[in-house]
Amino acid sequence: MDLYQQALRPLLFSGLKADPETVHRQFMRACDWANCRCDSRRLAGGHRNLTAAAIQRWQKSCSICDPRLTQKLWGLEFMNPLGLAAGFDKDGVATNLWPSFGFGFAEVGTVTFHAQPGNPKPRLFRLPQDQAAINRMGFNNQGAAQMTATLAASQYHRPQNHHPIGINLGKSKITPLEQAAEDYLGSFRLLKEYGDYFVVNVSSPNTPGLRSLQAVEQLEPILTALQTENQGDKPLLVKISPDLAWEDLDAIATLAQTHELAGIIATNTTIQRQGLQTQRLSTGNPPDQEAGGLSGRPVRQRSTEIIRHLWQQTQGQLPIIGVGGIFTGTDAWEKLVAGASLLQVYTGWTYEGPWIVRKILAELLRKLDQHALPSLSAAVGAAHRGQNTD
C-alpha cells in the first residue's frame, strides 16, 4: 500500500516534471475509459469475466465494507462516510468507477450552465512541503447539457450496488451576478434527474465575484429559485468558504434552515497563505503572489472549527459534509466528532494515493472500538455531548 507514496507519487510529482493539470487530465482520460468497462454488459465472453474480476480485486484492495460505517441521510444510504470531493471529476465521466476506489459516494462538477475553458494556465500548483495545493481552475467544464448526456449514458449502465452521486453547481463566468439565480436554475433543471443530491457552490475564489453570493441578500434568491423548482425532490446543500467571519457563517446557517436545505458543505479552499513552508511555486513566485484557493493540510484546522461552530449553532439539526485537510483516520475522526455526518477528500487523495480510503475507514473502525460506539452515527457530534473522543 506504500507503493504509491514510495514510487508512483515521486514519479508523478517530480520525476516526470509534468504540469499537475496535465497529470490529472491524463488520469481522468483513463478513468473515463475504465468507467465504460464497469458495466460488464458492454463486453463479451472472456473480456467480460476478466474485466469484472479485475475491478472486483481492485475494489477489494481499496475499500472496507462494514455495517458500522454506513450512514443514512436524506433517504440515501452511504456504504461509508468518505466521498470524493467536487473538482476532481468535473464533467462526471467516471461516476461508475469511484466505488471501485472505495468511496462511499462522489460529488461531480463544479458544472456551470455554459461550457467554459476556465482560467489561463498554469492554474494548478503543488506544495509538497505543506501537503497542499493551490488551484485557480475557474470552473473549467463542458457545461450542464454535456454533463446531462454523460450521466444519462453512465447511469443506464450504473452498477446495481448504488453509490450516491452529488452534483456541484456553479455560476457561469459570463453570467452577470444579478442573473446568478437563473444560471444555477438552468443547470439544476437539466441535471435534476441524474443527481442524488445537489450543491450550490458560491465559495470558490476563482470566479470573479462568486464569493459575494455568500451574502444573505444575494444567496437567498438563488436558494428560493432552486427550492421552488425542486419541490423537495432532491437534497440541496450549500458549500461555504473557510474565510467567512463567524457572523456570516451564522447568517448562512439560519438561511439554510429557513429554506429547508439538506445541509452545508464545510469547507471550500482558502485564500489565506499564513504559515506555509513552501517558498517558491513552479512559476518562481512565492505562494502569496499566486491567486487561487489553497487546499490540503493548511485548511484542516479551520474547516474543523467551522464544522464545530455550525453544529453548535444549529444544535446538530443541519447535516454537515466535512472537507478540508483529511489525510488520516484521525483527521476524519476529528471532523466527525465535531459534527460532520459525511466527509470528502481531494488533495489528501492525490498525496496519499488510492489506498487512503481503506486506511481511513480502518482507523475509524478502530476509533469506534476504542470508544465502544456501535456505529459511525453515534460518533457524529460526540465532542459536543461531553464524550471522550481522543
Q: Is 382 annotated as a binding residue?
A: no
Q: Is 288 annotated as a binding residue?
A: no
Q: Is 184 annotated as a binding residue?
A: no
Q: Is 28 annotated as a binding residue?
A: no
Q: Which residues of 173-190 are buried (b: 16+ CB within 10 A; e: fewer)?
A: bebeeeebbebbbbbbeb
Q: Is 83 annotated as a binding residue?
A: no
Q: Is 262 annotated as a binding residue?
A: no
Q: Is 95 annotated as a binding residue?
A: no
**Active-site amino acid positions:** 204
Q: Is 346 annotated as a binding residue?
A: yes
Q: Is 325 annotated as a binding residue?
A: yes
Q: Is 89 annotated as a binding residue?
A: yes
Q: Is 138 annotated as a binding residue?
A: yes
Nearest 10 degrees: CA dihedral of 150, 19, 118, 344? Answer: 60
Q: Is 135 annotated as a binding residue?
A: yes
Known binding residues for FMN:
86-90, 110, 168, 201, 239, 267, 296, 325, 346-347
Known binding residues for substrate:
90, 135-139, 201, 206, 268-269
Known binding residues:
86-90, 110, 135-139, 168, 201, 206, 239, 267-269, 296, 325, 346-347
